[in-house]
């Protein structure tokens, strides 16, 4: 301890021995100290301009979870205090830990702070700072109606769609957060469908493969479960002309549903009667690529070539079964490549 600390603690411990004026002053200074410290901790939680030279927000390369938890246990109310950010909208600290909302790189993944999300959510739930259905702030929607689980399913900056430099780091960091949230029950299987997480991943300009694999292997049924518009993830993938997403969705569909539903993904109708294969064929540059990946996947999983009997597929049988499903639209020109 330095000289100031050597004096401060004994003074606070023996405050009652001081005169009234001194006691009042000690109380005044203590209140100011606590207020200033709390404000500074809140600023640290909410500092999301990660590219700024003077950035001193949370940084997992410097700050430990134990240090942050110690501070928040003294000031838990900070987690429910909002900060005014871009365009006057006010964000909770947890909302600023995954993606930036200020500075010159709005919607850039905050790789320095995102790992603290599980800790912040856990403490917010422990101290009952949000409504039960808001799950510690995870399910609070911002002005764009995007919640934290949806942000964690995003692949890259929304403002700089071509920025691929840190894609693998983002995928790994967000996957790690998802895994932790799942382990403690704050991220639930049904969230994948309710909040359209797989749809969101298929709608990204850079495909988040590791997170996609994690969600599909946890809840494969979401591959064939239509949303309110009748879309399945393959609709979204081909609409975005995302070859990587299209291949991943179709291949996992075949792997988990080899008897019918996997191949039927190509022909499932949305509420407007459009199928993924129809959407793909309307895009000249996409048609050949979709045909190629479909043929490759079917070849690998066909009965004659697959070594895994659990995932082998009889293409003719699957098409016949799909043809009698009223939710499936088979077109001769689309099945005879």
Q: Which residues of 141-168 are buried (b: 16+ CB within 10 A; e: fewer)?
A: ebeeebbbbbbbbbbbbbeeeebeeebe
Residues in a beta bridge with 313: 302
Indicate the pLDDT class of residue 136, thresholds 50, 70 and 90.
very high
Q: Where are the domains of the chain?
A: 34-197, 219-337
Indicate the pLDDT class of residue 149, thresholds 50, 70 and 90.
very high
From 194, 244, 242, select the one nearest 222 (Cα to Cα).
Answer: 194
Q: What is the pLDDT of residue 196?
A: 96
Query: Quick count: other Cβ atoms within 10 Å of Cβ 17?
Result: 9
Cβ contact 168:202 at 8 Å = no
Task: Write down the pTM of the prediction.
Answer: 0.85
185 conformational bin, left if phi > 0, alpha if psi -120 to 50, beta if neither: left
Q: What is the pLDDT of residue 49?
A: 78
Query: Is the torsion defined by CA of 193, 197, 201, 204 positive or negative?
Result: positive
Cβ contact 262:273 at 8 Å = no
Domain 219-337 belongs in CATH node 1.25.10: no
Query: Quick count: other Cβ atoms within 10 Å of Cβ 310?
Result: 8
Please name the helix (run of DSSP H) or strand (run of DSSP E) that holds residue 248, with its range, or none: helix 243-256
From 212, 210, 199, select the one nearest 171 (Cα to Cα).
Answer: 210
Mean local confidence (pLDDT), 112-128: 97
Q: What is the pLDDT of residue 304?
A: 47
pLDDT digit string, tens, across residues 279-289:
888 887 788 88
Cβ contact 123:73 at 8 Å = yes
Lowest mean pLDDT among 7-16, 221-230, 301-310: 301-310
């Amino acid at each position: 301890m330095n000289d100031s600390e050597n004096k401060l603690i004994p003074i606070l411990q023996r405050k009652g021995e001081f005169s009234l004026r001194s006691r009042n002053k000690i109380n005044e200074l203590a209140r100011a100290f606590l207020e200033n410290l709390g404000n500074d901790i809140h600023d640290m939680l909410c500092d999301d301009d990660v590219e700024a030279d003077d950035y001193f927000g949370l940084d997992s390369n410097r700050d430990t979870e134990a240090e942050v938890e110690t501070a928040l246990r003294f000031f838990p109310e900070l987690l429910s205090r909002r900060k005014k950010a871009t365009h006057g909208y006010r964000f909770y600290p947890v909302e600023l830990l995954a993606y930036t909302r200020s500075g010159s790189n709005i919607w850039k993944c905050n790789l320095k702070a995102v790992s603290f999300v599980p800790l912040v959510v856990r403490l917010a739930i422990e101290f009952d700072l949000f409504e039960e259905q808001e799950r510690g702030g995870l399910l609070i929607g911002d002005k764009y109606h995007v919640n934290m689980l949806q942000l964690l399913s995003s692949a890259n900056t929304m403002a700089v769609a071509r920025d691929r430099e840190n894609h693998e780091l983002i995928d790994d960091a967000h996957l790690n957060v998802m895994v932790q949230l799942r382990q403690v029950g704050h991220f639930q299987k049904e969230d994948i469908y309710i909040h359209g997480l797989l749809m969101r991943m298929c709608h990204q300009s850079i495909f988040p493969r590791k997170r996609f694999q994690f969600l599909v292997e946890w809840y494969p049924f979401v591959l064939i479960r239509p949303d309110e518009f009748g879309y399945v993830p393959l609709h979204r993938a081909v609409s975005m002309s995302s070859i990587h997403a299209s291949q991943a969705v179709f291949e996992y569909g075949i792997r988990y549903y080899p008897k019918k539903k996997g191949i039927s993904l190509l022909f499932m109708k949305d509420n407007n009667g459009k199928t993924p294969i129809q959407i793909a064929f309307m895009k000249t540059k996409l048609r050949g690529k979709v045909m190629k990946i479909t043929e490759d996947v079917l070849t690998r999983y066909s009965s004659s070539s697959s070594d895994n009997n659990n995932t082998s597929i009889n293409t003719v049988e699957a098409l016949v079964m799909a043809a009698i499903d009223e939710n499936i639209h088979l077109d001769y020109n689309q099945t005879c490549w």
